[in-house]
Amino acid sequence: SVYAKDSPKCDPKLFEIGVPVLGICYGHQLIAHALGGEVREGGAGEYGTTKLEVSNSSGILKGMSGAEDVWMNHRDVVEKPPAGFRISASTDKTKAAVFENPARKIYGVQFHPEVTHTVNGMKILENFVKMTGAKREWTAKNFLEQSIEEARDVIGGRKAVIGLSGGVDSSAAAVIVSDAVGKNLTAVYVDTGLMRKGETEEIRQVFSKFDLDLRIIDAGERFFKALKGVKDPEQKRKIIGKLFIDIFDENAKEVGAEVLVQGTIYSDRIESGITKHSSNIKSHHNVGGLPKKMKLEVYEPLREIYKDEVREVAREAGLPKEITEREVFPGPGLAIRMLGEVTPEKAEIVRETSAIVTEELKAAGLYDKIWMGFTVLLPVKSVGVQGDERSYKYPLVVRIIESKDAMTANFSKIPFEVLEKISSRITNEVREVNRVVYDITNKPPATMEWE
């Protein structure tokens, strides 16, 4: 809230220097507050896709008209814009959803034009960029070239290790640094015992084709021992993060490395609360899960870009489709897909059931249309009837979502017959499960993972 004591503020003189200013969400409220408008706490939050009624399609909303789908994530609202500002669009709950003063080149939008769920969001950003006179010069090719040069400057003649998961983030980071420092990079893949079905062997096959010093570490026993009795999701993430670092330290010592390369992307940093005013939603093991005292210097070549941009960079770097289009998988692995304590037995349930989800999505021709599909094991049991007998087993959640940038997501509207096939296979093939439910929550208000 703009009224919170420690909330970010800006110098009001910013609005007097004549440069275009665009406030998004909190920035929209901050402009109103700083220039004499009124901001109040809304009676109900406005989260997810919302209909925006456009009343003035010039200025920041040029090219838009009628009803637009936009992505909201707020509770406070601008009750009254500053003097001299017009209201150009509204929603049912937010009268001043867009306000602007074209003469002063100041614009505010309550929704998020930068996410894919705001259908014409890019048009709004393009309108603003034109007002600034700035040029759109970012390309995957330019970024790749600049990142290789940066890695060469940062690492120099030192040796480095990278935690390679096989996902597009760490793979792209590995290629960038490998091009920069060559044989001075060692890639370490850690099998935590919490990986997807067949994952380790797939990584071995894919990366044997690359000129990488690849080490595959079987560390399942170490991870299960460290996680024994731990139920809190943040504690899980931090334990996993520390153990990853310990293993990287051990391998770094063997090869004489001084730098740890990570595939951290910008959305990881935001959700881990790494930026000054961002909330710690969950610690990503490669950001908020890192121990405060580390022996290795951390270098993150992808730290300023989002997942869709990473995929572009990976394609530009020549990575194969099985990597560039690989389904997203969290760093802590299956540990955060079983609520409560982590055990080998529970990991096997999640691994097998998630594999069934993947197989059925591929069979239905839906796999390439989703962001990720997986299962979540709940720490409770439910009554069922199997083989004319009472059963008392685990209920399982199926989560299938669509996204582009990882900042927002929609649950996927999978056909019922596909969901039924998934449910039937799970309850028939996995003895420990007798009930399957489907998660129909978007992000926000939920996160992609359950922990």
Which listed residue (79, 114, 145, 341) is catalytic?
114
Task: Check if 285 is active-site.
Answer: no
User: Can you say how many angstroms the Cα of residue 343 is from the centroid of all Cα atoms in its chain?
Assistant: 26
Which listed residue (28, 33, 112, 284) is catalytic?
112
Q: Which tokens sit at 410?
A: 């929609």
349 and 377 Cβ atoms separated by less than 8 Å: yes
Residues 116, 121: Cα–Cα separation, whole Å: 7
Q: Reduce the secondary structure of the chain to three states and give it as a string.
A: CCCCCCCCCCCHHHHHCCCCEEEECHHHHHHHHHCCCEEEEEEEEEEEEEEEEECCCCHHHCCCCEEEEEEEEEEEEEEECCCCCEEEEECCCCCCCEEEECCCCEEEECCCCCCCCCCCHHHHHHHHHHHHCCCCCCCHHHHHHHHHHHHHHHHCCCEEEEECCCCHHHHHHHHHHHHHHHHHEEEEEEECCCCCCCHHHHHHHHHCCCCCEEEEEECHHHHHHHHCCCCCHHHHHHHHHHHHHHHHHHHHHHHCEEEEECCCCHHHHHHECCCCCCCECCCCCCCCCCCCCCCCEEECCCCCCCHHHHHHHHHHCCCCHHHHCCCCCCCCHHHHHECCCCCHHHHHHHHHHHHHHHHHHHHCCCHHHCCEEEEEECCCCEEEEECCEEEEEEEEEEEEEECCCCCCEEECCCCHHHHHHHHHHHHHHCCCEEEEEECCCCECCCCCCCC
Q: In what order do the strands lie in the sheet with 98-101?
A: 21-24, 106-109, 98-101, 86-90, 38-54, 66-80
Distance in Å from the first CA to the final CA of the chain: 26
Task: Check if 25 is active-site.
Answer: yes
Task: Check if 112 is active-site.
Answer: yes
Instruction: Name the residue among 122, 171, 408 with its Cα closest to residue 310.
Output: 171
* Cα 213 to Cα 1, 116, 162, 166, 252, distances in angstroms: 49, 38, 10, 14, 12
Question: Catalytic residues, which ones?
Answer: 25, 112, 114
